[in-house]
Amino acid sequence: MPNLLDLVNIRRSQNLSLVRLEKIKQQGSPYYSYSMPVTAAGASANFDVEHQFPAARKYFPLDWIEVQNADTTIGLTLVINGESSFPVPPNSIRSIDNQAIWHVRLTNNHAANPTVLGNVIATVQRQAETIDSWARKQ
């Protein structure tokens, strides 16, 4: 049977968890960036958010991704969680939000050329809760 001190400590840890959750809702998470390695034509680069960014675990699920494709000739396909597929044209930025992000795959769609290191950057984050996102939940 727990004593009074144990009950106080349990209550205190629950309060800290609630405070942390409210802070995440109000401020979101930091940005976590992944630079796509050199990828051959038709090949893919994959990453699991949990393994690539261990510090992001306390913010799960991350719900926003932005892919910056600075390559002028190579188009990409962004696949989130093995389900949703989005084209990322050459020399463009593609943002997706309001979707839990656990696994990301970026595929080089070019027939012959590989991607260049540093030209493709994927950034993920848990966004702060806005009045619109709060209203959608109601």
Q: Which two tokens stand for residue 106?
A: 């970026």
Closest among 53, 58, 104 to 78, alpha carbons compared: 104
Assigned token pair, 53: 């960014």
Return the pLDDT at 83: 92
130 has pLDDT over 60: yes
pLDDT band at 5 (very low <50, low <70, confident <90, very high): low
Domain that holds residue 84: 31-128
Same structural domain, 53 and 120 = yes
Q: If we measure between CA atoms, which residue out of 122, 130, 129, 136 comes closest to residue 80? A: 122
57 found inside a domain? yes
What letters, b where the CB count within 10 A reaches 16 and e where it falls short, cover 23-33? ebeeebbeebe
Q: What is the pLDDT of residue 7?
A: 47
How many other β-carbons are positioned within 10 Å of the β-carbon of residue 90?
Answer: 15
In a domain, 38, yes or no: yes
First to last CA, the chain: 39
- Let me know whether 59 and 120 are in one domain: yes
Q: Convert the pLDDT of each residue in 9-68 to its tens digit.
A: 555 555 656 666 676 677 789 999 999 999 999 999 999 999 999 999 989 999 999 999
What is the pLDDT, as a whole number, of residue 14?
Answer: 59
Q: Which two tokens stand for residue 107?
A: 């595929």
Residues 6+ apart with CB under 8 A from 111: 41, 42
Into how many domains does the chain fold? Answer: 2
pLDDT tens for each residue of 55-107: 999 899 999 999 999 999 999 999 999 999 999 999 999 999 989 999 999 99
**pLDDT computed for residue 20 by the predictor:** 64
